[in-house]
Amino acid sequence: MTSVNPQSKSNYEENFPEDCELVQSWFKSDDDGNPMGGFTEGPGFHIDWQNGVVTSAEAINGANVVDILEAVRQRMEFFNEGKFRCRQNSLAITHIEEAMHWCQARITDRKNRGVLSTMKP
């Protein structure tokens, strides 16, 4: 089973419609609704998402949300370290860090319940 996200406009498409593509995602799931990878792509990037659970370093076969958020956080920090420092960048960083916090809280909860690295909810 494959589900496709609705197309979403990239930031650049709004300003330069003739030159830009859309950000699109294709997510796969098994018959039980478990996430089984997929990919997201847009102008200048392609993300292959983790397919299945991660039980060891060898089981990593794609990106996870927290790592992508960390990459975006680092990029925003880079902007804020230079001449593009602004309140909006600082607020974006704060909210990215908040998203990472809640992802970590979910991981901790799953670990405490003994369901981390399984397909149990």
For 74-107, what is each residue's pLDDT tens digit?
999 999 999 999 999 999 999 999 999 999 999 9
pTM: 0.82
Lowest-pLDDT range, 19-23, 48-52, 63-67, 117-121? 19-23
State the burial class of residue 121 (Cβ atoms within 10 Å of its Cβ: 0-12, 13-18, 19+).
exposed
Q: pLDDT for 20-53, tens place per residue?
A: 558 899 999 999 999 999 999 998 999 999 999 9
Indicate the burial class of 45 (C-beta count within 10 angstroms; 0-12, 13-18, 19 or more).
Answer: exposed
Taking the alpha carbons at both ends of the chain, their separation in whole angstroms is: 19
**What amino acid is encoded at 20 in this protein?**
C
For the four alpha carbons of 73, 76, 78 and 80, in that order, the dihedral sign comes to negative
**pLDDT beyond 90 at 113:** yes
Q: What are phi and psi of 23, to 5 degrees?
A: -85, 125
Task: Tell me how many degrees the CA angle 106-107-111 measures, rounded to the nearest 5.
Answer: 115
